[in-house]
Structure 1
């Protein structure tokens, strides 16, 4: 069963000229937000084909630990990558594997059927590029899979809170593990 994802984006487009729409699109990014352990992550919406519920995964012998195995997704064999394992994120005992979701990536970027297993998918959101901080990432390492940190403003119990979302370059991450998939 495919999950429906709600978009968190403001009403727009009424009365705008085509040039204004192009400019605003260039200054924003659409992402799929998800959880790995206790941390919030995001990947580019246009790298995602669909989100599906967990299904039984067939383990493959002699594969790296981050390759969970394969599933049959509507007649197509799809390799499942455990993103927590790949990114060395500690297991969260509160989340059972059966409650996880699989984000199926777009075939155009993967060149094969690949899905990433995540703890949960929360939403599809649009953020202004001014909400993305790339400076902290540049200081850590040149070979990182992190594009930037998205600062999402949230209101919890009448308090404004800035939630930090780690924006992952899933294409770069796949390139580094491409030889095993």
Structure 2
């Protein structure tokens, strides 16, 4: 891998495609467990699940990204730099190597680094720190 390449994990929320730097990902698990809601939690917190004996907070990235739809995700992307926190996503697609030159940062925001063009679609590069 060249010095200026970064591996990103691509996932979907509704009809949109998003990605995060794979360095932020600890693991990906199926969202088969019931998520227990937490009363009076922040709007982005869906609830908690038990992952191998550890209580993991599940966050809905749709809230921070202002994406419409229900958090009916099938996968949880557990983040490595946030103690026992995961993002509830609809599906996980692939890991791809991208270069900084491919990133259009003119569309960057508080929660995103910009967009990547992939064939017939855009992939929004998300900053996971801004979502949790």
Q: Provide the TM-score with structure 2 as the length reference.
A: 0.90
CA drift of 1:127 comes to 1.2
Give the structure 2 partner of residue 85 of structure 1.
63
Q: Deviations over 1:83-133 (max 9, x none)?
A: 1133221116xxx83x61100010xx21x2101101111111111222111
Structure with more of its chain in helix, by fraction: 1
Aligned to 1:69, what secondary structure does the other structure show?
A: strand
Give the structure 2 partner of residue 114 of structure 1.
Answer: 85
Query: Which residue of structure 2 aligns with residue 152 of structure 1?
Result: 118
The reply to whether residue 41 of structure 1 matches residue 41 of structure 2 is no
Q: How does 1:100-139 map onto structure 2 within 5 Å?
A: 100-106=74-80, 109-110=81-82, 112-137=83-108
- Distance across 2 between alignment mates of 1:30 and 1:145: 19
1:65 corresponds to: 43
Paired residues, number: 131
Runs of 4+ in 1 over 3 A off after TM superposition: none
Larger Rg belongs to = 1
Aligned mates of 1:87, 1:60 — CA distance in 2: 21
Structure with the larger strand share:
2
Q: Report the secondary structure of 1:90's partner residue.
A: coil
Greater length-normalized contact order (CA 8 Å, ≥ 6 residues apart): 2
For residues 37 and 28 of structure 1, the distance between their equivalents in structure 2, rounded to whole angstroms, comes to 27
Listed as ranges, the gaps of 5+ residues in structure 2 are none
TM-score normalized by the length of structure 1: 0.67
Partner SS, residue 131 of structure 2: helix
Gaps of 5+ in 1: 1-20, 154-160, 175-181
